[in-house]
Structure 1
Amino acid sequence: MVTRPVPETFAADDFALREEEHGPCTGRAHFGHDPISTAERVGGVVRLTYDAYGTDGSPVTELPADQVRGLVSDAEQDVRDFLGLAGARAGQHLPTHAAPVTAALARALGLVPSP
């Protein structure tokens, strides 16, 4: 399977949406593919498709764009809250390594740790 990155789209607070395109499957050993989820805006609605390239009539969810903004904002806050809790837990259980562990987790999550 060939994977090539598609340019990132940035929204408020540096939240990045990324999509990867997968080339055609070749060879008989390949029995399926990972789902490729997509989000597209159609007027005031965002259409979320679980597996855009699947042939099985993938589920589609349509939400008002304003609701999607709120859901994304809530998810961003949840990730920041998780990082804070993980950092506190690392401080309790890995006091000498808490800072680098928390910083590595923040990088993996695409966040900057809170002071």
Structure 2
Amino acid sequence: MANTETALKEAMAVIEGAVGVALVDYTSGMALGTLGGGKHLDLNVAAAGNTDVVRAKLRAMEMLGLQDEIEDILITLGGQYHLIRLLKARGGNGLFLYLALDNQRANLAMARHQLRKIEAELEV
């Protein structure tokens, strides 16, 4: 089992094109841990903003009466992919992993696969 710090380090090391990663509590909008980012990607601001995305999608699913779970939310930008993965593993309720990728270097399918693996190993 990996703790938050180990999981974030693994994401940055093994996911090709990773620019930044965060573990976020979407009940509060606070990042519980971040790694990467930089001048043009403030992961704390991204955590708060993407919390709104998750909440909006959950509300829409409720209004539609969808009895399903969100696996990933993908946002494609001109130069980046932003991947939000809601945690289902032990103790992960109310949390998501946020991953920003350089779309010129990233393989989206592999990034999703590796993020799913990191989630499975994460102990919160």
Q: TM-score, normalised on structure 1? A: 0.30
Q: TM-score, normalised on structure 2? A: 0.29
More strand by share: 2
Which one has the largest radius of gyration? 1
